[in-house]
Every structure is written in C-alpha cells, then in structure tokens.
Chains A and B, each alone.
Chain A
C-alpha cells in the first residue's frame, strides 16, 4: 500500500485533534448580548505529491456574549459532515485579566469536542482548553499568542493497546482585524510539536519532523 492515495484519506480523516481543524473560536469575549456567526478554513500542512498544502477543514460557528467577560460558542464541522460525521465544539470564552493601560488581556476557552458517525454510530469526546494573551492595536486590530490543548480521554488505542499520550499542546499566534461588521483572522499554530510526525500515513510538515504547522483563516460577521 503506497502513500499517494492514502494521503487523500488523511486530507479528510484527521479532523479533530492532533491536527486541530480550527482557530481558537473567540480570543476576546463579546459584549453582553452581542452575536457573531463565522467560519474557518484551513488545517495542518501536508506534502501532497511534493507540494505543501493545507488540509481543507471547514467549520461554521455561532457565538453570543453571555456577559461582558464570558461568551458561549458552538460549531459544526462541515468537512466532517460531508463524510457522514457530525462534529461540534461547544464551549465558552472567559476573560481572565485585562489591563487598559497596556491594552492587553488573557482569556481561556474551555470546550468540548464531540463527534459521532452515521455508519457505526461511534462517538468520541475530546476536551479542549485554549489560553491566549492578546494585545489590542487601536480599536479594530489585535494580535494574540497562546496554547491550544487537546486531551484524549480514552485509555485504549485500537486493539486494546494502551494510549500513551493524553495531552496534545499546540502553540499558536494569530491576528484579527475588524472592519464594520466583519472580522478577518489569520492564525498559525504548531500542532502537537511533541509528537513525531513520522512514520505516518500522512506527510505532515513540521519542524524536525515533529507535529505539523497549521494555517487557518477565519471570517466572522457580527449580527447585533
């Protein structure tokens, strides 16, 4: 069995985790009552026939400000859905700290990723906690850096083998720009830098063959 066709599999297969399929949903909480819909496109880079390309994960989400320091969000992963797998991440964004003097803040996003397929009705659940520090530039731009953390809760791998890694941490940086009701975002992360990416069925692109570099785009529209 050789790689090229199996790479097609990896394009779509690895939606969740390792190779996280979306940006941090919200880096800063919304204002109370504010609502946003958005979409993500992008994923980890792989070498496909020698050409670097991003796995084309797509997802759509909705978020609402519960109060001025906490917002809730939920999503549907569209690429997964096309393959008969319903996947969602549901969570909150909570501002932990903000200093007006330096226009900087820290936020945390605890979330749950849930997936179930229509073929064998196999369900999986992965907790996720993202933490970010952000710095505002003017009223409509901010830069952020943080750590996205996924957790495997199943102690067993296929065939009853022991799961040896439970925590997948991915450092990330991003930039968001808002104009009128639209917000544009670009994020890059080093997905699971502690995990060797070879041998594997996919040729992930990561420094020193560790993890994968991911590139993601986000587009949001404020509803109210």
Chain B
C-alpha cells in the first residue's frame, strides 16, 4: 500500500509540461494581409483566369467571444463575393488549416469562389485567434468560437441554415465538424472535409506504432473521429492517398466510416499529399466534384 501511495504521489507531483500551445503553427508573422500580393510559400498559385476583383474581396474584423472567454477577441475575416447578396446566396464557410494565416490559404479560398463558376457561391474564411493578425492565443474552444463568430456575422447579413455549407481543411476539420455536430449561431446544411484528422489519439498511436494515448502528450481533444458520428448533414470527404502527414487510412477513412448521416461521398485522390489535393486532382475536377455535391 505504501508503495502504491508513493507511486500515485510521484505521478501527481510530476511536471505539467504539455505540448498544446506548440501544436499551433503561428511561425510566419505578418503585419498586413497581402492576398494576391503574397510572394511567400503557398501550396499552389492560381493563374489569371481565377482572378477576383478587388471589389469582391472584403477584409474586416469580428468580435469573437466563446463561452469560456472572459473577454472578446478581434479576429480577421475575409468575404469573397457581394455582401448584399448573402441573404440569397449560398455561402461556403472555409475553415483553414493550422499553418500561418489567410494569406497562405488565399489561393484555396479564391479557388472555391470559382465553384460552379466565378462567384456563384460566396466564400468566407477567417484567421482564428492568434493566427495572422487576429488577437489572442489559439485554443481548442477558441477555434469553435471564432468560426461561430463568422456564422453569427453571416446570420446578421441574412444567411440561413439551408444556404450555409462549411468546409474544413486539416485542422479546420475540427471546428467544421464540431459546429455541424453541435450547431451554434447557424446549422450548416452540408459538410466538406479535406485531409481531416481523426483525433489526438490517432496522432499519438500513428507516431508510436503502439496504442499510446493522446493524453500522454496533449490535453487537446480535436476528436473528429467521434464527433462525426453526430453529424447528420450530407458529407463530402476528400483526401490524398499519399498524405504524408495525416495518413488517409488512419485519419480520413475513420471519419468517413463514422459519419452519422445518410449521405456521404469519398474522393481519394491518387498521388496527392497533404497540401496538394486540389492541384493533384486538377482544379477543374476538384471544383466539379464540389459543385456536384453542392447542387445534389
């Protein structure tokens, strides 16, 4: 008994190092958003045929305050399209990945603005707190609050549930899935996930080979693999077969299999890595697949 008590004491008194804050990739600091003027690293750069007029780009700030926040944070958001038409348009709410900021994802958002033709759909994305020029530090709950702040803004412009589609890429699959499973300001009508991750447990188990629990490393849950069971919305999943970061089989396939709704479709893109799905698939084919899902 004495030995057992000593063991428990050792565990309780052990240090509290966690990797949670290190998991967010805020490496590239910026002082302004450059969008098309961004000459830095990007997954791909579209040609001139995908140009978006300046009058269709709207960069602004929103106040985001989650249930656990004692103050609100000013986050940056970008809307591509005509704001006045939000009350009648279908809008794709794009939740970007863990890397950097909206400049890095501008090409992706711009590409989505060509789904079904130029500006057929509005596209909105945001920098989560701590990313880009948005205030604060990233947290798991903050991701959800920040995306919900965008939903609240869209709702204030006349958006309703039936015309809202949410798209999550990589880490962005967490807020996209969460806000479909447990809606807040609006209930998205459809869910699209590109290269999603299943959970911290899968990350840890993949890395170790054995079943090392995610809690050995991080307190983050980001448990899409279980949350997706509560998602009833139509679901579109796209993942590269050679995703060198989030293994398609151990992450994406789990999410696809666990989807709790009635309709889902899978797009396994041969030869695509984590950041190259649209380019490897081909921009036209990528957009055609999304459009077919949007209008079904």
Contacts and interface: CB of A to CB of B under 8 A. Distances in A.
Interface string A154-172: 1011110101010010000
Interface stretch (B119-127, B156-164, B202-210): B202-210
Contacts of A156: 211
Contact of B199 (A12, A84, A126, A158): A158
A121 to B, nearest CB: 9
Interface in A204-221: none
A201 B14 contact: no
Interface in B18-64: 18-19, 22-25, 27
B215 A119 contact: yes
B45 to A, nearest CB: 18
Contacts of B23: 5-6, 8-9
Interface stretch (A14-22, A103-111, A134-142, A173-181): A14-22
A167 B135 CA distance: 48
Interface stretch (A23-31, A92-100, A192-200): A192-200
Contacts of A112: none
B199 A124 contact: no
A126 to B, nearest CB: 6
Interface string B167-191: 0001100000000000000000000
Contacts of A157: 202, 205, 211, 250
Given A116-B11, A159-B198, A199-B247, A124 B212 contact: yes
Nearest to A19: B208
A42 to B, nearest CB: 17
A120 B215 contact: yes
A171 to B, nearest CB: 16
Looking at chain B, what size class is its interface with the partner chain? Answer: 35 or more
Nearest to B199: A158
Contacts of A4: 25, 27
Interface in B222-278: 225-226, 242-248, 250, 254, 258, 274-275
B207 A2 contact: no
Interface centre among A4, A84, A202 (most CB of B within 10 A): A84
B213 A122 contact: yes
Contacts of A165: 209
A170 to B, nearest CB: 11
Interface centre among B25, B27, B242 (most CB of A within 10 A): B25
Contact of A199 (B98, B171, B214, B244): B244
A162 to B, nearest CB: 12
Interface stretch (A32-40, A64-72, A75-83, A182-190): A75-83
Interface of A: 1-6, 8-10, 12-19, 76, 80-86, 115-120, 122, 124, 126, 150, 152, 154, 156-159, 161, 163, 165, 168, 192, 195, 198-202
Given A9-B207, A117-B213, 20 more contacts: A1-B97, A2-B97, A9-B23, A9-B217, A15-B208, A16-B210, A18-B210, A19-B208, A81-B10, A82-B14, A84-B16, A85-B14, A86-B7, A120-B215, A158-B211, A158-B214, A159-B199, A161-B250, A168-B209, A199-B244
